[in-house]
């Protein structure tokens, strides 16, 4: 069973979905030709339906061009709903499933919001993720959109690799930090990571981070940030938002060092829930494809399809 992400919303009825299957049975084309034809049709339909997504949201033409180079010609629901609140500086708690496009949903508005702050000196954005693999994925999303006309620098800091190399990259200057809580806290304690310029912090897969025992480190990191700045925007993204996760989120969003009367009201988050109506189902942005193959050909078939689709 393979998963393929597309840039169209799956709004077809069951009858409509059956039409391509009939076409495949009657066609003499091989599987790769049919997949290519389907992919081209999806891109054309998406361009017709949502060609103004980037312009409506005020996304830079340079960023839009980079997205189109990656065959991204429209935005998913979470990306549309999250963009304006992030750009406006609101604290957010977002419930959105894996595969729904949530990584790009905070990458796009953050590089739009902080463009004028990108000096490649001290970081203004920090993203925390529970694992090295997810940190690398998020870092790649940021780096892929940087260009000569829209330049910023992203540094990854996570465990399992040389800390000295990461220290050198921090000292060389950057705009965005992506990493795991443990290594981030290590850099803070070594005084290699400056927090006073951090304007937005994102917790990606927050429920997993808290379940994995990172709560104390996350609270310590925010304690350091709040001592350095009166207000820092906090955006929490998760596949599930339980009450205790909300409680932790609310606690780190409030700056205990801020004596202003409106600090609680100013830190109150906006809640965007894109999970409640799915009932545990796969997001509409994920399409399942089944390919019949001999057991002996399974590995090579998966490799061929993966190379083509990715």
Cβ pair 186, 192 in contact under 8 A: no
Strands 2-5 and 286-289: antiparallel
Residue count of the chain, please give it: 310
Contacts of 200 (CB under 8 A, 6+ apart): 86, 110, 113, 114, 124, 125, 126, 232, 233, 234, 235
In angstroms, rounded to a whole number, what is the distance separating the alpha carbons of residues 47 and 73?
6
| Residue ranges in the chain whose pLDDT is less than 70 | 1-51, 277-289, 306-310
Residue 85 CB neighbour total at 10 angstroms: 18
Global pTM?
0.73
> How confident is the model at residue 45, as a pLDDT?
46
Residue 60: per-residue pLDDT: 92
pLDDT at 25: 43
The pLDDT of residue 298 = 76
Q: Which helix (H) or strand (E) holds 264?
A: helix 263-267
Tokens for 222?
């925010």
Whether 168 contacts 156, CB under 8 Å: no
Identify the CA nearest to 55 among candidates 40, 65, 42.
65
**Predicted local distance difference test score (pLDDT) of residue 296:** 77
Alpha-carbon distance of 59 to 232, in angstroms, equals 23
Q: Which residues contact 282 (CB under 8 A, 6 or more apart)?
A: 97, 99, 288
CA trace torsion 168, 189, 109, 73 (10° rounding): 50
Residue 10: predicted pLDDT: 38
Q: Determine whether 158 is exposed, middle or buried from the number of CB atoms within 10 Å of its CB (0-12, 13-18, 19+).
A: buried
- pLDDT for 24 equals 40
Q: What is the pLDDT of residue 159?
A: 93
C-alpha–C-alpha distance, residues 277 and 181, integer Å = 32
Which domains are delineated in the chain? 78-273 (3.40.50.300)
Give whole-number Cα distances, 232 to 25, 70, 257, in Å. Answer: 57, 32, 12
């Amino acid at each position: 069973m393979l998963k393929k992400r597309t840039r169209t919303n799956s709004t077809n009825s069951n009858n409509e979905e059956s039409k391509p299957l009939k076409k495949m049975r009657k066609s003499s084309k091989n599987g790769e030709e049919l997949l290519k034809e389907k992919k081209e049709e999806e891109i054309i339909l998406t361009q017709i339906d949502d060609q103004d997504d980037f312009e409506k949201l005020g996304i830079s033409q340079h960023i839009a061009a980079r997205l189109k180079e990656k065959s991204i010609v429209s935005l998913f629901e979470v990306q549309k709903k999250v963009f304006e609140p992030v750009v406006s500086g609101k604290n957010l708690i977002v419930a959105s499933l894996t595969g729904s496009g949530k990584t790009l949903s905070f990458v796009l508005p953050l590089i739009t919001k902080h463009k004028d702050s990108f000096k490649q000196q001290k970081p203004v954005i920090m993203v925390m993720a529970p694992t090295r693999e997810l940190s690398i994925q998020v870092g790649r999303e940021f780096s892929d959109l940087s260009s000569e006309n829209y330049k910023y620098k992203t540094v990854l800091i996570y465990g399992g690799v040389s800390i000295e190399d990461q220290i050198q990259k921090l000292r060389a200057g950057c705009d965005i930090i992506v990493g795991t809580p443990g290594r981030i806290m290590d850099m803070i304690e070594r005084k290699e990571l400056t927090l006073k310029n951090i304007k937005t912090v994102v917790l990606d897969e927050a429920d997993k981070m808290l379940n994995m025992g990172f709560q104390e480190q996350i609270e310590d990191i925010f304690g350091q940030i709040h001592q350095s700045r009166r207000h820092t925007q906090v955006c929490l993204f998760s596949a599930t938002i339980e009450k205790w996760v909300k409680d932790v989120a609310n606690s780190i969003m409030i700056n205990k060092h801020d004596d202003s009367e409106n600090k609680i009201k100013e830190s109150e988050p906006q809640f965007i829930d894109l999970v409640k109506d799915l009932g545990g189902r796969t997001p509409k942005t994920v399409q399942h494809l089944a390919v019949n193959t001999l057991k002996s050909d399974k590995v090579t078939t998966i490799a061929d399809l993966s190379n083509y689709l990715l």
